[in-house]
């Protein structure tokens, strides 16, 4: 006879029953959730909560005077959103934003949508006018629920103060579970000022959502599932794993590495999947897609079994769906979101579940039951592709090439630094020329492609990982978007390194205009703009702010820039005509890849014509 062990009832919260204001309850729930940093900008409708944070910090300050919940004030609320996203991306924890009503809330729309597109968990707490004034066009009122409903994972307007505490807890639950994403909570001022009893526990009823999450959690791989997967692998001579950002978000990089190393599977990653495998490993094929490595794209062309893990076959990777992985006889697809299965590309085998757990189960089953396969010939073929079709550029040019600068930085960082970027050519160069030994070292705006992301995201990452070197690789166009946050770096004494690759214009736009619009640089040439970035950095308190214009000085200045103990700023005047290659143009397949003058190509030349009107970057 067996007995069921009795589980002890959870201990009540030590503050349960204490009378608090709504604002104090919000702050206490944040503390219970382990929040140590809040990014935001104050204002009238959120003042009660800002005051509650101040009083909480004053009461719980440690012996060294350190605040338990640091408030980081950016130049604007968009910066706060990107800082929270950078914090979440670098740490795997939920980032928190605290802003006021009206413009404070609407300024976070872009980072909310950016986080939704890249599946990043943040919680945005925004003030709102009192409940009795909602809908009256009161001062600094905005219809947050209507605006955010289409761009966030979930939006909640609190009108019943008794539900406030549970609402904040539930926001964190929704943000971090399943496919992560941003949750917005709209907080009327009278709800923040209300006084009631703190419960210390409780969530809102979301039965449908929790049932879906439970279904994914309970959907474990069976022996039959594993057997059918390995039956497909047994038929393969040229398997290839295609890993996406879902691997990073699921904290499944370690499980993926064990799986691929155990069975000798090469891996290529999306832009968002960079770091899922160590890019310095022989079987890492680095990034695929529109600006991926030529050798990675040729590997996709040649593989006979494509294994998609936490990837969604988006248009940057599979623009011409029926010509993507044309030699693959079978496709397998792992994901946490059932909506992604078959959405773009039909899979012969698929599983919806928890990636880290499922990969471990698959590895264990394969070790016990799957005979070892020799992929040596395929490995040698891939090594040849990597050698023949490697990234390259004009190394003899008298002008400073951006690739050279990044190679020199990479020589120092050795794949261990956190790299944040804006959006544009510099973003793709950084993805191509930096190594990443671990997950959560690569922070970039992938699906939304939001300029201005790099600097605030680097700030958030430095708060999340004070032990890491953090470098913002930016372009002159992207940096202008949130240049006010240079001051945020120095205000909080952050040792962030800001690298500005200045080509005096919107380089990626110019590249497209040269390729597809007969060189008409409409609105993209900024060579006559007067911004002095060095003076701007110095004015904002950077002790090291240097402009690099001579190629011969690159090694020395890069070392100075990285070795400087505090925040440092380096502007590099690069070749204005430097391009991002390889490149797969609109409506083109991998065999039509443009590799430029310095990278070998085995494909036919692409069509020289303007892209259709519906084409995107």
Which listed residue (77, 141, 301, 571) is catalytic? 77
**Which residues fall within 8 angstroms of residue 199, CB to CB, at 6 or more apart?**
13, 16, 165, 166
508 catalytic residue (yes or no): yes
CA torsion angle for 433, 435, 441, 446 (degrees, to 10)?
40
Q: Report DSSP letters for 392-458, one per residue.
A: ---TT-SSPPHHHHHHHHHHHHTT-SEEEE-SSHHHHHHHHH---SSTT-EE---SS--TT-HHHHH
Q: With 0-12 CB in 10 A as exposed, 13-18 as middle and 19+ as buried, what is 130?
A: middle
The yes-or-no answer on residue 401 being catalytic is no
**Catalytic one among 189, 345, 497, 526?**
189
Closest C-alpha among 544, 597, 594 to residue 566? 544
In the block, tokens 């090469």 appear at: 266
Distance from C-alpha of 72 to C-alpha of 134, rounded to nearest angstrom = 29
Q: State whether residue 272 is helix, strand or coil.
A: coil
CA torsion 209-211-213-214 (nearest 10°) is: 160
Bridge partners of 122? 95
Q: Which of 83, 285, 508, 593 is catalytic?
A: 508
The answer for residues whose C-beta is within 8 angstroms of residue 239's C-beta and 6 or more apart is 233, 265, 266, 303, 304, 305, 306, 307, 375, 378
Closest listed residue to residue 459, CA positions, set 449, 446, 471:
471
* DSSP SS3 for 61: coil
Residue 139 annotated in active site: yes
Give me the phi and psi of 249, to 5 degrees please: -65, -30
Q: Catalytic pick from 139, 235, 367, 377?
A: 139
Residue 291 has what DSSP assignment? Answer: T
Helices 425-433 and 402-413: crossing angle in degrees, nearest 10, is 40
Using an 8 Å Cβ cutoff, are 193 and 314 in contact?
no
At 347, phi and psi to the nearest 5?
Answer: -105, 140
User: What is the spatial distance between Cα 111 and Cα 319, in angstroms, rounded to a whole number?
Assistant: 25
CA 260 remoteness from chain centre: 23
Contact 287, 268 (CB under 8 A): yes
Nearest to 97 by CA among 163, 30, 48, 160: 30
Report the alpha-carbon distance of residue 417 to residue 413 in Å, rounded: 6
Q: Which of 54, 140, 206, 560 is catalytic?
A: 140
77 belongs to the catalytic site? yes
Q: Which residues are catalytic?
A: 77, 139-140, 189, 508
């Amino acid at each position: 006879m067996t007995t069921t062990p009795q589980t002890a009832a959870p201990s009540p919260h030590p503050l349960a029953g204490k009378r608090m204001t709504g604002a104090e309850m919000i702050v206490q729930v944040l503390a219970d959730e382990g929040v140590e940093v809040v990014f935001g900008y104050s204002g009238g409708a959120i003042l009660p909560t800002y005051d509650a944070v101040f009083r909480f910090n004053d009461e719980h300050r440690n012996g060294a005077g350190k605040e338990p919940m640091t408030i980081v004030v950016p130049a604007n609320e968009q910066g706060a959103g990107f800082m929270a996203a950078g914090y979440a991306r670098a740490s795997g924890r939920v980032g928190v934003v605290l802003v006021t009503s009206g413009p404070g809330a609407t300024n976070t729309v872009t980072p909310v949508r950016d986080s939704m597109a890249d599946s990043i968990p943040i919680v945005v707490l925004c003030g709102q006018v009192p409940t009795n004034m909602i809908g009256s066009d009161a001062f600094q009122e905005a219809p947050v629920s209507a605006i955010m409903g289409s761009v966030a994972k979930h939006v909640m307007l609190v009108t019943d103060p008794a539900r406030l505490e549970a609402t904040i807890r539930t926001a964190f639950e929704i943000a971090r579970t399943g496919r992560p994403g941003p949750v917005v909570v709209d907080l009327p001022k009278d709800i923040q000022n209300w006084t009631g009893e703190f419960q210390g526990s409780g969530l809102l009823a979301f039965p449908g959502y929790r049932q879906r999450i439970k279904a994914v959690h309970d959907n474990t791989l069976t022996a039959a599932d594993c057997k059918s997967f390995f039956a497909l692998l047994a038929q393969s001579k040229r398997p290839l794993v295609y890993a996406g950002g879902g691997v990073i978000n699921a904290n499944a990089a370690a499980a993926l590495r064990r799986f691929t190393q155990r069975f000798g599977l090469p891996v290529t990653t999306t832009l968002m999947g960079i770091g899922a495998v160590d890019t310095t490993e022989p079987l890492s094929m680095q990034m695929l897609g529109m600006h991926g490595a030529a050798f990675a794209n040729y590997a996709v062309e040649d593989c006979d079994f494509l294994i998609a893990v936490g990837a969604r076959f988006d248009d940057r990777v599979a623009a011409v769906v029926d010509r993507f992985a044309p030699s693959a006889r079978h496709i397998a697809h792992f994901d946490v979101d059932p909506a992604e299965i078959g959405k773009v590309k039909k899979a012969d085998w698929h599983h919806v579940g928890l990636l880290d757990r499922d990969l471990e189960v698959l590895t264990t089953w394969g070790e016990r039951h799957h005979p070892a396969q020799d992929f040596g010939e395929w490995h040698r073929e891939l090594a040849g592709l990597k050698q023949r079709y490697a990234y390259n550029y004009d190394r003899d040019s008298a002008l400073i090439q951006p690739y050279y600068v990044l190679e020199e930085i990479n020589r120092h960082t050795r794949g261990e630094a956190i790299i944040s970027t804006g959006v544009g050519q510099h973003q793709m160069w950084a993805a191509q020329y930096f190594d990443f030994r671990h997950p959560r070292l690569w922070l970039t705006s992938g699906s939304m492609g939001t300029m201005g992301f790099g600097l605030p995201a680097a700030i958030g990452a430095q708060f999340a990982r004070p032990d890491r070197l953090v470098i913002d690789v930016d372009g002159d166009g992207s940096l202008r978007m949130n240049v006010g946050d240079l001051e945020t770096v120095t205000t909080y004494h952050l040792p962030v390194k800001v690298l500005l690759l200045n080509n005096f214009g919107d380089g990626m736009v110019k590249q497209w205009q040269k390729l597809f619009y007969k060189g008409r640089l409409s609105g993209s040439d900024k060579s006559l703009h007067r911004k002095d970035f060095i003076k701007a950095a110095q004015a904002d308190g950077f002790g090291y702010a240097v402009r690099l214009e001579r190629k011969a000085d690159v090694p020395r200045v890069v070392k100075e820039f990285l070795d400087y103990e505090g925040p440092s700023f380096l502007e590099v005047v690069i070749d204005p005509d430097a391009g991002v290659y390889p490149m797969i143009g609109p409506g083109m397949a991998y065999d039509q890849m443009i590799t430029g003058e310095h990278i070998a190509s085995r494909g036919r030349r692409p069509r020289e014509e303007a892209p259709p009107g519906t084409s995107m970057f």
